[in-house]
Amino acid sequence: MPQPLMIFAAGLGTRMRPLTDTRPKPLIRVGDRTLLDRALDLGRNAGCAPIVVNTHYLGQQIADHLAGQDVAISPEPQTILDTGGGLRQALPLLGRGPVMTLNPDVVWTGPNPLSALQAAWDGDRMDALLALIPLAQATARKGAGDFSMTDDGALTRKGDFVYAGAQIIRPDLLADIPDSVFSLNVLWDRLIARGRVFGMVHRGGWCDVGYPEAIPMAQALLDG
């Protein structure tokens, strides 16, 4: 059964200025492809459907870019809702059950992370499965790691693994969060407390394309 996919494309792209003064970050190019198109390639190659993209900053540019494609748009015209609020708003477009989410401001090499997550998903013991990259292998990453992982793959906060920007997650508990604007970190913390968040280490290259100087690093990774 196809897995629904949410691509987060509503961010302000402040770290990517001045490139984002006139275009949204997902439409910045690495090589001959925009970041958004690279994310869509991963989703389509993994058989994801439906695919939903949220928009806010310069959202009309993204809508124009996606015109005629098999992608639904979840606009956030008044207030950017962050990842948690944005996912909750998009749920009517995504359908019931676990959903995949993907950050487009990342370049990957090696296995398709979405396909790998699908293969590793165990709904009996997981409410979230996060793609991770070891901090030492996280090209262009600034800052510390996000998680530690036990021998059976369960995650706890802080450690030498970086969240790589792709996951499968059950969105059921989003309904219990009172805020309208919130990060998925809020949901992760609730699920971690239940021992229901697990990690999968990406077996390939990864680059955080979050600021202008990272673009040539991402291209070098792709040129490999």
Quick check: 63 and 55 in contact, CB under 8 A? yes
Residue 59 confidence (pLDDT): 94
Q: Residue range 100-107: average pLDDT?
A: 98
Domain ranges in the chain are 5-223
How far is 196 from 200, CA to CA, in rounded Å?
13
pLDDT of 28 reads 97
Residue 77: the pLDDT is 85
CA distance 207 to 141: 7
- Answer yes or no: is pLDDT of 1 > 80: no
CA angle 3, 38, 189 (to 5 degrees): 55
3 state DSSP class of 52: strand
Residue 63 burial (C-beta neighbours within 10 Å; 0-12, 13-18, 19+): middle
Read off the pLDDT band of 224 (50, 70, 90).
confident
pTM over 0.85, yes/no: yes
In this prediction, residue 96 carries a pLDDT of 85
Kindly state the percentage of the chain with pLDDT values over 90. Answer: 96
- For residue 51, list its beta bridge partners: 5
Query: Quick one: pLDDT band at residue 93, thresholds 50, 70, 90?
Result: very high
Return the amino acid letter for 13. G
Write down the mean pLDDT value for the chain.
Answer: 96
Q: What is the predicted pLDDT for the residue at 193?
A: 96
pLDDT for position 119 = 97
Q: Give the whole-angstrom CA distance, residue 118 versus residue 95.
A: 17
Give me the pLDDT at residue 2, please: 80
Mean pLDDT of 12-16: 91
For residues 172-181, give the mean pLDDT.
94
Kindly state the DSSP code that residue 97 receives in the 8-state scheme. Answer: S
Q: 190 CB contacts (<8 Å, ≥6 apart)?
A: 173
Helix (H) or strand (E) holding 73: strand 72-75
Cα(186)–Cα(215) distance, integer angstroms:
30
Q: Whole-angstrom Cα distance, residue 169 to residue 188? A: 9
Q: Which phi-psi region, left, alpha or beta, contains residue 130 (left: φ > 0; alpha: ψ -120 to 50)?
A: beta
Tokens of 135: 């901090």
Fold category of 5-223 in CATH? Spore Coat Polysaccharide Biosynthesis Protein SpsA; Chain A (3.90.550)
Residue 111 has pLDDT above 80, yes or no: yes
Task: Please compute the mean of the pLDDT values over residues 98-122 and round it to a whole number.
Answer: 97
Contact 114, 98 (CB under 8 A): no
What would the pLDDT profile of 112-162 be if each residue is shown by its tens digit? 999 999 999 999 999 999 999 999 999 999 999 999 999 999 999 999 999
Give me the pLDDT at residue 88, please: 97
- What separation in angstroms does the CA of 78 have from each of 49, 55, 178, 181? 27, 11, 19, 12
